[in-house]
Amino acid sequence: MDSQRNQILARQWVTAQSVIAGYLHAQLGDFQQVEEVLQSTAAAAVRKVDEYDPERPFLPWVMGIAHYEVLMFRRRLARDRCVFDNEVVERLTSRYQTMAPQLRAMEQSLAECLDQLPARSRQVVDLRYREGLKPRQIAEHLNHSGDAVRSLLKRALQLLRDCLVNRDSITEGGAE
């Protein structure tokens, strides 16, 4: 890109930027998103400046780029599975803060119940749920059959369930 084209682009951009920003605000509504897409529009205009014909109006050309950048931005947002609006985030935060003490108590109960498991059962539970191994992989790791691991895991989970239910009934009974 030569310096004459740079100068033309810079002059034209300065006069068009507020119009483009207004268009983006109407399309997106969110200030941060507008800024992000405005920057990507400017970068795309710089990349494509050689395609611009100075004999034609600049604004329609750059608005076409802005329109395309809005479409690409929305496509990226749609692919993001974890996009929440601010209200949802606020509700989740509030709910978590309300539940945090109860969650900590549940984690403590689970840790104490895990400590009560026989060593082999605790090892199988750790391999399955902390390490994320499948029963077949645990069987290979421990040199056991898959059926033996599944049976051991089933018994361990039943012991954990019984322990947690017992603790819960003691806690509820003690609270009365």
CATH number for the domain spanning 59: value is 1.10.1740.10
| Helix or strand run (H / E) with residue 56 | none
Distance CA(145)–CA(140), nearest Å, equals: 8
Q: Are 12 and 48 contained in the same domain?
A: yes
Q: Are 109 and 68 contained in the same domain?
A: no
pTM of the full predicted structure?
0.47
> Is there a domain that residue 89 lies in?
no
pLDDT in tens, 65-123: 999 999 999 888 877 666 666 677 677 767 767 777 787 888 889 999 999 999 999 99
Residue 172 has a pLDDT of 61
Select the more confidently predicted residue: 145 or 3: 145
User: Which residues lie closer than 8 Å to 44 by C-beta, 6 or more apart?
Assistant: 65, 68, 69
Of 101, 100, 14, 10, residue with least CA distance to 52: 10
The pLDDT of 139-153, averaged and rounded, is 94
- CATH code of the domain covering residue 129: 1.10.10.10
Identify residue 170 by its one-letter amino acid code: I
> Is there a domain that residue 90 lies in?
no
CB 159 within 8 A of CB 117: yes
Give 138's pLDDT tier (boundaries 50, 70, 90). Answer: very high
Please state, in angstroms and as integers, the Cα–Cα distance from residue 109 to each residue in 51, 93, 129, 175, following that order: 66, 24, 17, 16
Distance CA(164)–CA(158), nearest Å, equals: 10
Among 19-28, 85-94, 136-145, 153-162, name the one with the lowest average pLDDT: 85-94
% of the chain surpassing 90 pLDDT? 46
Distance CA(46)–CA(72), nearest Å, equals: 17
Give 173's pLDDT tier (boundaries 50, 70, 90). Answer: low
Q: What's the gap between Cα 114 and its chain centre?
A: 30
Domain extent at residue 153? 99-175
Q: Are 125 and 73 contained in the same domain?
A: no
Q: Are 70 and 107 contained in the same domain?
A: no
pLDDT in tens, 22-46: 889 888 888 889 999 999 999 999 9
> Is there a domain that residue 125 lies in?
yes
